[in-house]
Amino acid sequence: MEGSVLPAFLLELLVDPEDKQSLWYFADRAVLFNERTKRVYEVRNNIPVLLVSEATELDDDEVQSLTAEIAGATLTGTVKREAS
Residues 46, 7: Cα–Cα separation, whole Å: 9
Q: Mean pLDDT across the stretch 25-30?
A: 91
CATH number of 8-81: 2.20.25.10
Position 8 scores a pLDDT of 87
Residue 75 pLDDT greater than 80, yes or no: no
Domain boundaries, given as residue ranges, for the chain? 8-81
User: Tens digit of pLDDT for each residue in 35-65?
Assistant: 999 999 999 999 999 999 999 999 999 999 9
User: Residues 6 or more apart from 61 whose CB is under 8 A from it?
Assistant: none
DSSP structure class, residue 78: S
Residues 40, 54: Cα–Cα separation, whole Å: 9
